[in-house]
Amino acid sequence: MPEGPSIVILKEQVQKFKGKKILEVSGNTKVDLVGAGVAGSKVLDFKSWGKHFLIVLKGRAIRIHFLLFGSYSLDEQTKPRPRVHLHFKNGDLFLYACSVKLLEGDIDTHYDWTADVMNDTWDPRKARKKLKDKPDELAADALLDQDIFAGVGNIIKNEVLFRIRVHPESQIGALPPRKLSELIREARNYSFDFLEWKKAFELRKHWLAHAKSICPRDNVPFVKVKHLGKRKRRAFFCPKCQKLYIL
């Protein structure tokens, strides 16, 4: 369920609850939403920041993070033990196996929207500046850094690196300026491709590197690393066409 584009889809799907009053709240979250008086308040907006799904109320927001296994359903409860269940006059929102937090105060004080690769205000120059401060960082780790590329997950990471022909263990500081620009540009571009493919239920079909075994460019077997970089995530890359840049 994770990765930024999936959250953007969720945000679109719950639009019918925007402006509506939460009539009832329940679920097994440890956050005391009932005691906090969430029932009775109106949803002012739904927002997303990277992989965070935000239910904005007056003066506060419920922050949902689906981690690896989280999921949701609309109107029908499809799984046992919802973490959060919001009941509206015109339907229901069920959130399962997610992390829940209550953010107090203006939502804008909690988030830098320009760091979200899917956001209208995404600022590639800021990303570049942050990357400049981490020359030793591996390209694979940098792409997963939510302070720089909020919303990018492991699939997007692998696909972006394949697209721009960069080895995941390349160091950021060793990338030629043009390559660095490509990395930043494709982190956003691929996220929007991901969004469209996911909406069409054909995401996997478009994977060129992630979970694949042969490079579609030159038929060479992909290298598969189980725990690559400091974030120790799965990596798939072509030893032939993805260049290793080292300082």
Partner DNA sequence: CCGGTTGTTCAGCG
Partner DNA sequence: GCGCTGAACAACCG
Would you tell me which residues interact with DNA (CB under 7 A)? Answer: 1-3, 6, 50-51, 65, 67-69, 71, 79, 81, 96-97, 99, 144, 146, 153-155, 210-211, 226, 230-231, 233-234
Cβ at position 148, least distance to DNA in Å? 12
Residues 99, 88, 5, 147, CA torsion sign: negative
Q: What are phi and psi of 95, to 5 degrees?
A: -120, 125
> Closest CB to DNA among 71 and 181?
71
Q: State the amino acid at position 35 in one-letter form.
A: G
Of the pair 31, 44, the CB lying nearest DNA is at 31
- Give which of 191, 190, 177 is closest to 135, Cα–Cα: 177
CB closer to DNA out of 217 and 234 = 234
Min CB(21)–DNA separation in Å: 28
- State the nearest-atom distance from the C-beta of 81 to DNA, in Å: 6
Longest Cα–Cα distance of the chain, Å, equals 59
Residue 205 or residue 226: which is nearer to DNA going by CB? 226
Residue type, 145: D
Question: Which one-letter DSSP state was computed for residue 222?
Answer: P
Q: State the angle between helix axes of 124-132 and 177-199 in degrees (0 to 180), rounded to the nearest 10.
A: 130
Tell me whether residue 57 or residue 82 sits nearer to DNA (CB atom).
82
**Shortest approach of DNA to residue 68 CB, angstroms?**
4
Q: How far apart are CA 66 and CA 52, in angstroms?
A: 8
Q: How far is the CB of 168 from DNA (least distance, A)?
A: 13
